[in-house]
Chain A
Amino acid sequence: MAFQRDGDLNLEATELRLGPPGTTEEPEKQTHPTTTAKCNKRSLPDMNEESAGSRTNNSNVSNEKKHDRTSPPTKAQVVGWPPIRSYRKNCLQAKKMEAEAAGSGIYVKVSMDGAPYLRKIDLKVYKDYPELLKALEDMFKFKVGEYSEREGYNGSEFAPTYEDKDGDWMLVGDVPWDMFMNSCKRLRIMKGSEARGLSCAV
């Protein structure tokens, strides 16, 4: 729900948000860290309208908080803040990316038959199948049963499956973990007869 601003209501005083009393959250403008030409534009209107550090909640209504209130607003980063030289930021950024194994996490959607919501997980977080399956079990509150190469998942009406790069639906666990990570596009926890069908597949 977009935050409605009415000139007289000072809705901010009654709004619920996290943070100690007396801080005003600066409205964020989109910043472009690479082009310095625009770099200072965003904060000046704020400074004109409301004094930084002011402890009153009567922040000026003309600076609307444009961001959506449904999701916790991730602040657009202010240019040059915190004051870390880009050289250092780049070095550490490169490290973070390497730590996440060359690139950002592998996010895949997970659906479960019968459940109304999809979930999304980062496959990079798990190092092998047991970890992944345990996480899925916890997430969807089910048990996955015993895996065997020949028979798939025994002892459960659920079977974890995934769609691979070719668009085929495969049983989770059949290929080596790394190959799975690289080819998995999304996960689906099948239930019932379909699951059994897969388990008994060739």
Chain B
Amino acid sequence: MVISKKPRSQNHYPNPNFMREDRTEMSEDDDRSSPSDSVNTIDSCSNKTTSGSTSGSGPSSIPEYQAPYPDQVLENVLENVLCFLTSRRDRNAASLVCRSWYRVEALTRSDLFIGNCYAVSPRRATSRFTRIRSVTLKGKPRFADFNLMPPNWGAHFAPWVSAMAKAYPWLEKVHLKRMTVTDEDLAVLAESFFGFKELVLVCCDGFGTNGLAVVASRCRQLRVLDLIESEVSDDEVDWISFFPESATCLESLIFDCVDCPINFDALERLVARSLSLKKLRLNRYVSIGQLHRLMVRAPQLTHLGTGSFRPSEDVAQGEQEPDYTSAFAASKSLVCLSGFRDIIPDYLTAIYPVCASLTSLNLSYANINAEQLKPIIGNCHKLQIFWVLDSICDEGLQAVAATCKELRELRVFPIDAREDSEGPVSEVGLQAISEGCRKLQSILYFCQRMTNAAVIAMSKNCPDLVVFRLCIMGRHRPDHVTGEPMDEGFGAIVMNCKKLTRLAVSGLLTDRAFNYFGRYGKTVRTLSVAFAGDSDMALKYVLEGCPRLQKLEIRDSPFGDAALLSGRHHYYNMRFLWMSSCKLTSGGCQQIAQELPHLVVEVFNHEFDEDMGNFVNTLYMYRSLEGPRDDAPKFVSIL
């Protein structure tokens, strides 16, 4: 290739104070900065959105072999080649080769991923990347989902949408997670992007059905409107009626979280004129009778989220009901089922005809027991993703283990999310799953009691585990058979699961567990800790031992300033650190803020906490190119 003219490829400038060497194994999530190189900071690569650069990629720090004038032929060739690179990670690497590659990569990148909306400003992102078609933005950290973050903290979509409105008129896709989006933002979006195709809002808030109506009516090319676990206010607007009257391009319409009544007739007509519709997830205001009508209209659906799985109240008892089973039988393409809100379990057998082809089944809103589950799950041989409530008990999980040999992802949610409730699932269910579902990659399991033995068994039986999240709901609860801490179980997971990237721990855990994490958790990127550990050593083990760690969220654990400071070598490699109700003081937080100027160190304290003296309630810190944000509310201090 002609590019051999440029002899230098990647430059690794070991800089232990700031960077890790092993860039080539950088995960997709890994965004890095080069805070030490001011030239690059202003000019080019130190942009969170792609990779960091080392000191190696800018012209100022290495003698460069470069022609005095840009080689247009070379750049054209590069452009045509680089447009085939789709993976973010590959593009990040390519952009580091030299200025030319950096420039061309920026021109050819079409998907912009920003893992922390405050790590980089809209202006910086839009100046570097000028031809973006798709934007993914993530805002608040995950613990915000559990009321640990005061409201109005930030993560506003507004500055982004207005910057993109000017920079990316050809923008097609916007994917937001944990951002605050207003109706006005949606209006700007709808007005600014003519060919807009996909809007996906996950765990977002701030908007209502007014905003949806604007999107529906203005985005004539809309293919995907997915609202997932977002808070949508009911503005009493019949937004479904705002879709174009003519045939639509809709391929996916997900609105199960929009908790307000909809105009069903309008929805039925919409489905009838949306011939490309493949994914449809209804909210609970759609009854099973209405579902039937929709299924008859759209037998081509591949993903279906039912509404309320029961007749509406105005259906008299004993009245002739449609044949739901036939409707399912006719939907030959269905591979993914969800919904089942307010289920009357007797109706569940209607899905029987599709069980054998299902790859994904979400029963996590369906209060059913093992007996009701068995006839269904017994036929789900191809099932790969299964979400369920613990109402099925260990016995139900045993049935899953017996049939679902292809299972990749399991999530067991508690029907009674309190610490003291009777737990219907336990180590028995976990053990059964580990024995039956050997291909398991991801598990989220809520329970009241657990044993090390079962967790160890899973670590050995399921070597492909990538995500292991076990939530023993009673805080500090030990192995209920041996009385021991859960150290050995979680230790075995990091030891035996060589592909593990995400870990969430619970139960009684001592520093020993964290020692295991530091020793063996070499691939872990995300770690969630709650009510665990004995001392600063625990956090030190992790910060010193886990080179890939990017997201660390800790609550209610006895880690103080010394532990915080011990991670200084690593924080620029991380997306964020969250520590709430730990033992941090403002002194410690100040110190880390001073030592690492490219970290934004946010501290939340409330007036009531004055009697806490020096202790910091919540620390949320993240690397950023922009310095302190200007939209922080009063209760946030940025150090």
Contacts from A to B (Cβ < 8 Å):
20-24, 26, 33, 36-41, 43-45, 47-48, 51-55, 74-75, 77-89, 91-92, 95-96, 98-99
Complex contacts, A75 vs chain B, CB 8 Å: 419-420
CB–CB A98/B476 < 8 A: no
Chain A to chain B contacts (Cβ below 8 Å), 5 pairs: A52-B557, A53-B510, A81-B531, A82-B446, A85-B146
CB–CB B417/A87 < 8 A: no
Please encode chain B, from 526 to 545, with 1 for each CB lying within 8 Å of some chain A CB and 0 for all others. 00001111110000000000
CB–CB B581/A40 < 8 A: yes
Complex contacts, A54 vs chain B, CB 8 Å: 534
Complex contacts, B473 vs chain A, CB 8 Å: 81-82
Closest to A82 in B: B473
Give the most central of A40, A54, A75: most B CB within 10 Å.
Answer: A40
CB–CB A89/B417 < 8 A: yes
Contacts A48-B583, A53-B531, A92-B417: A36 and B475 contacting too (C-beta < 8 A)?
no
What separation, in Å, do the CA atoms of A79 and B418 have in the docked complex? 11
Q: What is the CB-to-nearest-CB distance from A5 to chain B, in angstroms, rounded to a whole number?
A: 19
What separation, in Å, do the CA atoms of A142 and B145 have in the docked complex? 53
Complex contacts, B532 vs chain A, CB 8 Å: 52-53
Select A87's contact among B257, B485, B508, B612, beta carbons within 8 Å: B257
Nearest 3 pairs of A and B residues by beta carbon: A80-B146, A51-B558, A82-B473
CB–CB B530/A83 < 8 A: yes
What separation, in Å, do the CA atoms of A45 and B416 have in the docked complex? 28
Complex contacts, B534 vs chain A, CB 8 Å: 51-54
Q: What is the CB-to-nearest-CB distance from A179 to chain B, in angstroms, rounded to a whole number?
A: 19
Complex contacts, B229 vs chain A, CB 8 Å: 85, 87-88
Q: What is the CB-to-nearest-CB distance from A25 to chain B, in angstroms, rounded to a whole number?
A: 9
Q: Chain A: interface secondary structure?
A: loop
Select A79's contact among B147, B367, B414, B476, beta carbons within 8 Å: B147
Q: What is the CB-to-nearest-CB distance from B27 to chain A, in angstroms, rounded to a whole number?
A: 23
What separation, in Å, do the CA atoms of A36 and B633 have in the docked complex? 14
What separation, in Å, do the CA atoms of A33 and B531 have in the docked complex? 18
Contacts A44-B581, A80-B143, A95-B342: A53 and B365 contacting too (C-beta < 8 A)?
no
What separation, in Å, do the CA atoms of A54 and B534 have in the docked complex? 6
Complex contacts, A53 vs chain B, CB 8 Å: 476, 485, 508-510, 531-534, 558
The answer, yes or no, to whether B555 is at the interface (CB within 8 Å) is yes
Q: What is the CB-to-nearest-CB distance from B365 to chain A, in angstroms, rounded to a whole number?
A: 6
CB–CB B419/A81 < 8 A: yes
Closest to B365 in A: A91
Give the most central of A43, A44, A86, A89: most B CB within 10 Å.
Answer: A44
Q: What is the CB-to-nearest-CB distance from B141 to chain A, in angstroms, rounded to a whole number?
A: 12
B475-494 at interface with A (beta carbon < 8 Å): 475-478, 480, 483, 485
CB–CB A22/B478 < 8 A: yes
Select A44's contact among B143, B151, B477, B617, beta carbons within 8 Å: B617
The answer, yes or no, to whether B615 is at the interface (CB within 8 Å) is yes
Complex contacts, B483 vs chain A, CB 8 Å: 20-22
Q: What is the CB-to-nearest-CB distance from B167 to chain A, in angstroms, rounded to a whole number?
A: 33
For B, the interface residue count at a CB cutoff of 8 angstroms equals: 61
CB–CB B413/A84 < 8 A: yes
Complex contacts, A84 vs chain B, CB 8 Å: 146, 413-414, 417, 446
B76-122 at interface with A (beta carbon < 8 Å): none
The answer, yes or no, to whether B552 is at the interface (CB within 8 Å) is no
Q: What is the CB-to-nearest-CB distance from B231 to chain A, in angstroms, rounded to a whole number?
A: 7
What separation, in Å, do the CA atoms of A86 and B229 have in the docked complex? 10
Give the most central of A26, A53, A99: most B CB within 10 Å.
Answer: A53
The answer, yes or no, to whether B150 is at the interface (CB within 8 Å) is yes
CB–CB B148/A20 < 8 A: no
CB–CB B478/A23 < 8 A: yes
Select A77's contact among B419, B509, B531, B583, beta carbons within 8 Å: B419
Complex contacts, B556 vs chain A, CB 8 Å: 43, 47, 52, 78
What separation, in Å, do the CA atoms of A87 and B617 have in the docked complex? 25
Complex contacts, A22 vs chain B, CB 8 Å: 478, 483, 508
Complex contacts, B420 vs chain A, CB 8 Å: 74-75
The answer, yes or no, to whether B415 is at the interface (CB within 8 Å) is yes
Complex contacts, A43 vs chain B, CB 8 Å: 556, 581
The answer, yes or no, to whether B401 is at the interface (CB within 8 Å) is no
CB–CB A80/B606 < 8 A: no
The answer, yes or no, to whether B306 is at the interface (CB within 8 Å) is no
The answer, yes or no, to whether B582 is at the interface (CB within 8 Å) is yes
B567-592 at interface with A (beta carbon < 8 Å): 580-583
The answer, yes or no, to whether B341 is at the interface (CB within 8 Å) is yes
What separation, in Å, do the CA atoms of A52 and B559 have in the docked complex? 10
What separation, in Å, do the CA atoms of A142 and B161 have in the docked complex? 74
CB–CB B531/A36 < 8 A: no
CB–CB A36/B151 < 8 A: yes
The answer, yes or no, to whether B609 is at the interface (CB within 8 Å) is yes
CB–CB B257/A36 < 8 A: no
Complex contacts, B341 vs chain A, CB 8 Å: 91, 95
Complex contacts, A41 vs chain B, CB 8 Å: 606, 608-609, 612, 617
Complex contacts, A48 vs chain B, CB 8 Å: 583, 615
The answer, yes or no, to whether B618 is at the interface (CB within 8 Å) is yes
Closest to B447 in A: A82
Other A-B pairs beyond A47-B558, A52-B531, A92-B417, 19, CB < 8 Å: A21-B483, A23-B478, A23-B508, A37-B150, A37-B635, A41-B606, A41-B609, A51-B558, A53-B534, A75-B420, A81-B531, A82-B418, A84-B417, A84-B446, A87-B231, A92-B415, A95-B365, A95-B367, A98-B342
CB–CB A99/B580 < 8 A: no
CB–CB A81/B150 < 8 A: no
The answer, yes or no, to whether B565 is at the interface (CB within 8 Å) is no
Q: What is the CB-to-nearest-CB distance from A57 to chain B, in angstroms, rounded to a whole number?
A: 13
What separation, in Å, do the CA atoms of A52 and B560 have in the docked complex? 13
B356-401 at interface with A (beta carbon < 8 Å): 364-365, 367, 389
CB–CB A37/B608 < 8 A: yes
Complex contacts, B485 vs chain A, CB 8 Å: 53
What separation, in Å, do the CA atoms of A79 and B532 have in the docked complex? 16
Select B581's contact among A24, A47, A83, A88, beta carbons within 8 Å: A47
Select B147's contact among A20, A39, A44, beta carbons within 8 Å: A39
Select A52's contact among B150, B231, B558, beta carbons within 8 Å: B558
CB–CB B413/A47 < 8 A: no
Complex contacts, A95 vs chain B, CB 8 Å: 341-342, 365, 367
CB–CB B612/A44 < 8 A: yes
